[in-house]
Amino acid sequence: MLLVGDEFNRLFQTFESSAFKMETKDRYNVDGEREEFASFLAGGAMPQGWEDSQWVRSMVDVGKELRRVHILRSPLSDYLRFELGWGYVGNAKAGEDIRIIDLADQTVEGLPDHDFWLFDDTVVYRMHYNEDDEFLGAELLSEDVLPQYRAYRDTSWKHAIPYADYWQRHA
């Protein structure tokens, strides 16, 4: 069974101390971003409110840690330029620690080809998307795979560079 909607969003209210996301896609087809993505492509200005993510701040301000590694390959897709140029700006300002692995710059062995969230180092959800890159839901994985997903997190973190450093060179 895949978690979606309020059930999925509840994960971000109930984790106790840490959440880690690995992203592996070069495009996410998100209903709530279509207008902003079109504006970005047309050379528009970043929407008000995007410069400081209240969603991230709601967790960080109560002492929770949010970290993310995005594994990508330059040259960046239009969507990745949008995500890094607009989407990550507010998340980073609000306190999410975002890192990048660019596979055009380095080879990192042993990482997955799919997205996941690891909460409190004790529970992992694999993200599922359809062929149009729309989010289908999050699948709770069994406890026996936790060591592998912790290793994915640790390996990726060791090889990733801070988002601000990456973006400064690739903007």
In the block, residue with structure tokens 């070069």: 26
Task: Give the Cα separation of 121 and 33 in Å (integer).
Answer: 30
List, in sequence order, every residue forming a beta bridge with 139; answer none if it has no partner: 2, 126
The overall average pLDDT reported for the chain is 96
Task: Give the Cα separation of 170 and 165 in Å (integer).
Answer: 9
Side by side, the strands of the sheet bearing 135-140 are: 2-3, 135-140, 123-129, 116-119, 18-23, 65-72, 97-102, 161-162
- CB burial class (10 A; 0-12, 13-18, 19+) of residue 101? buried
List, in sequence order, every residue forming a beta bridge with 2; answer none if it has no partner: 139
Task: Give the Cα separation of 142 and 123 in Å (integer).
Answer: 8
Per-residue pLDDT of 110-151, as tens digits, reads 999 999 999 999 999 999 999 999 999 999 999 999 999 999
Q: List domains and CATH numbers for the chain.
A: 2-45+53-170 (3.30.870.10)
Task: Give the Cα separation of 162 and 129 in Å (integer).
Answer: 26
Is the pLDDT score of 163 beyond 90? yes
What's the pLDDT band for 49 if we cut at 50, 70, 90?
confident
